[in-house]
Amino acid sequence: MTQTRAITLNALSLYAVALVLTAAFAAQFMLHELPCPLCLLQRILFATLAVGPILNIRFGPRPSHYALSLLAAVAGAVASTRQVLLHIMPGDAGYGTALFGYHYYTWALIGFIAAIVLLAAILLFDRQFEEEPAVPQPAGGAFATSAVWLVIALTALNVISTLLECGFAACADNPVVYELLKR
């Protein structure tokens, strides 16, 4: 795999992260389901997954950049596994609405495991690391640049929505109202 192709795949992975963050926003605003603390942590770790691809697009692919995303994916898998286990007992309705039979934290666990597998798979291709060691200017063209800005914008929107939801205190375990919008 050439460096150019690797950068294209990294840009695609950023669009995948953007899709996950958009789906989370859709559930939050269309179904009026506020994310719980563990749900927010999983969102944060999905956003953190994007740091590796951004570095790969900016500086060229390096194993250390993929390692950052791997660390974020493992941490995300741990957090989502805990939430799955919290609701695993028979009779527990789970937290929030199920989508295609699975709750969001179960989908998150599947997503983080898929990320770990895909990161391991892309690390198999050594040729991407052999070409130009560093690119001085942002690389990847409009496709990659748009992906980077889309993910940054969605993460920044999460700063605002989380501030509205939690306010300046600790987030509620089962949030039902936006703390800063309460009258």
Partner 1 sequence: MEFTALFLAVTIVMLVAWFGRRSLALALFAAGMIACVATYLHHATDTLKLSF
As measured in angstroms, the least distance from the Cβ of 15 to partner 1 is 15
As measured in angstroms, the least distance from the Cβ of 100 to partner 1 is 25
Of the candidate residues 124, 169, 176, 181, the single one contacting partner 1 (CB under 8 A)? 169
**DSSP per-residue codes, 125-137:** -GGGGTS-S--SS
Strand spans (E) along 1-152: none
Q: How many CB atoms lie within 10 A of CB 122?
A: 17
Binding of partner 1 by 163 (CB under 8 A): yes
Binding of partner 1 by 176 (CB under 8 A): no
Sign of the Cα torsion 90, 95, 98, 103 reads: negative
The residues that touch partner 1, with contacts defined as CB under 8 A, are 37-38, 40-41, 43-45, 47-48, 50-51, 54-55, 58-59, 64, 68, 71-72, 75, 78-79, 82, 85-86, 88-89, 138, 148, 151-152, 155-156, 158-159, 162-163, 166-171
